[in-house]
Amino acid sequence: MNDAEGLKKIAGEAACEFVKSGMRVGLGTGSTVKYTVLELARRIQEEGLQIVGVPTSIATENLARENGVPLVELGSLDGLDIVIDGTDEFDPNFQLIKGGGAALLREKIVAQQSAAMVVVADGRKQVECLGAFGIPIEITPFACDVTVSRLETLLKCNVQLRMNGSEYVLTDNGNCIADAHTGPNILDPLATEATILNIAGVVQVGLFNNMCDAVVLASEDGVKTLMNPVGRLKRA
């Protein structure tokens, strides 16, 4: 396991400390949260942890089922206690960019239904200003080129449809993903989110504002948990 993968494993496992028996847990998507799912599965099997999970993608659903994590439909629950998910960037105000794994719509639905959100990340994801990663945007396949052109006009940057060879990358919902290459200059993430969502053809945008309560951050110096001072979680 290389250093980057090792840091992901440490962060993903450490986030499980927020999970207690009886919780309803949103299970995020991505290479770091994979280790969260595996650690929860281990605790279920070895420690008798009793939880139910709601996956944010087909990939996470398959991983959880294969490892014995019980799953339920989000609509069958009156909300979730916590969601643990990854991020592509987070800033000093705990605002996030997500969607590198093309699961942003389901991730945001689950996050909005959760009483708390814990993000797992390595040090590369911590930034002073959002945008270097770009903004993933889920858009409808219908007239997707028109939507991309409109996004470019409003955001004043290059916007590209994500491709797999000659085919569009499609989300689990059958939509396209466009990446807005804004650069690290998103000074007002809330206004940017509202602007993008106002465009017909946009399904959802990978700006996750005012959702993150804590970041479990792994670096070469070890693991630390950054608590959002205005968040919904308190240190144990």
Instruction: Name the residues annotated as catalytic.
Output: 107
Angle formed by the axes of helices 58-66 and 33-47, nearest 10° = 30
How does 161-181 read in b/e, with b if 16+ C-beta sit within 10 Å? bbeeeeebeebbeebbbbbbe
Tokens of residue 46, six digits: 């070895």
**Which residues face 181 on adjacent strands?**
158
CA distance 220 to 204: 34
CA distance 69 to 45: 9
